[in-house]
Structure 1
Amino acid sequence: MHILPADKEKLTSPPALETTVFARILRHDPELALTSLLFDDGELRLPMVNYPVGSSVIVKIDARDVSIALSRPMDVSITNRLPGTIDEIEYLTSPYVRATLSLGKTRVHSLITRESVVRLALQPGIKAWAMIKAVAISGRGVRPDRAPQPRSWPSDRSSSPETR
């Protein structure tokens, strides 16, 4: 398709929208080269990151990397499939729409087109699935969180000063 110079002025770039998720490294799977993160509303899988198990991290998820399905996605390559409810539909500069899904405590933004809103009949209150490719949540979107780590319990309580 050729874009005429006059048409270039009419084109708009997608707005930058992202979701911030606070998570903890749950486990690493060296065989599959994936890391699992635990967050308030479930687990996220992503390419292996170089932080130890138990580390607290902040994950940035670009709304352009979040797709929406109305039924439970089964035969898809997308690893992260999270059930939720459409919370909000915000019409942006055409053709873009921000659909916000509530997963429980977490709200995830998805940048979709008006056509998708119409075709799927999306509206607040309907059940939906947020789908996020594992490769979309790469190491560049994960950074250490500065939140304090929980203190470990003493392995031998009888040696604590209170019991002596």
Structure 2
Amino acid sequence: MTAGGDAASPKTARNARPLLAAILVARVLRHDPVAAMTTLFFEDGELRAPLIDDPVGATVEVRIDASDVSIALSRPMDVSITNRMPGEIVEIEWLAPPYVRVTFSLGSTRMHSLVTGESVERLALVEGLRAWVMIKAVAISGQDLSRLRSPERRPWPSGRSSSRESR
């Protein structure tokens, strides 16, 4: 450290972790009461989450925080993380140090991962690189799921009939 204190001084304020998330629309595919897990189907794959109350077939919105998304360069096999999906890095955005947002394309879905610049450099992450997105099932909690309402059919005004009914 220099006499003026310009190197990493203890007085340097830490930057707050950015709040970044992906919102997925998914359908409840099945429940496994023995494992207390629910399988959710979304456009680019399946997610396992702790058991939810919504019935099979219900549509839910899933919020996945970027800080809960990890990256692996090779297919993760011997890990406890349940949700592992291949994707391609489509954007790397350097935020306030030490944070970097890495955005993946899983097909139609964009998924963000919040990592440090050190991880980006160590893994040599670049746009166009194929890698694996990993999300712990326990990171998808009930508070991250909200049931979506389907639109209701619009009733005919009382006293009116459709053109088919009048024939």
TM over 0.5: yes
Q: Deviations over 1:22-74 (max 9, x none)?
A: 00000000010000000000000000011000000000000000000010000
Q: Who is 1:159 aligned against?
A: none
Q: Deviations over 1:104-142 (max 9, x none)?
A: 000000000000000000000010100000000011100
- Residue type matched to 2:133 in 1? A
Structure 2 residue corresponding to 1:91, chosen from 83, 89, 94 = 94
Q: 1:119 aligns to what SS in structure 2?
A: helix
Aligned counterpart for 2:108 among listed residues 82, 85, 105 = 105
Give the number of the structure whose alpha-carbon radius of gyration is greater: 2
Q: Report the Cα distance in structure 1 between the residues aligned to 2:24 and 2:150, rounded to whole angstroms.
A: 13
Match of 2:119 in 1: 116
In the superposition, relative to structure 1, how do residues 11 and 116 fare at CA in structure 2: closer, same or farther (>3 Å)? Answer: same
Matched, 1:68 2:84: no
2:45 maps to amino acid = G
The residue aligned with 2:128 is 125
Offset at residue 145 of structure 1 (A): 1.2
- TM-score (normalised: structure 1): 0.85
Higher helix fraction (1 or 2):
1
Q: Give structure 1 stretches of 5+ with no counterpart.
A: 1-5, 150-164
What SS does structure 2 have at the residue aligned with 1:7?
coil
- Pairing partner for 2:84 from 69, 81, 85: 81
Aligned to 2:33: 30
CA distance in 2, matches of 1:129, 1:97: 17
TM-score by length of structure 2 reads: 0.83
Matched letter for residue 144 of structure 1: R
Q: Distance in 2 between matches of 1:7 and 1:128?
A: 36
Gaps of 5+ in 2: 1-8, 153-167
1:21 is aligned to 24
Cα distance between partner residues in 2 of 1:36 and 1:147: 20
Separation of aligned partners in 2, 1:32 and 1:121: 37
What is the number of residues matched between the two proteins?
144
Name the aligned partner's letter for residue 143 of structure 1: S
Q: Matched residues, percent identical?
A: 60
| Aligned match for 2:49, one of 39, 46, 49 | 46
Provide runs of 4+ in structure 1 moved above 4 Å.
Answer: none
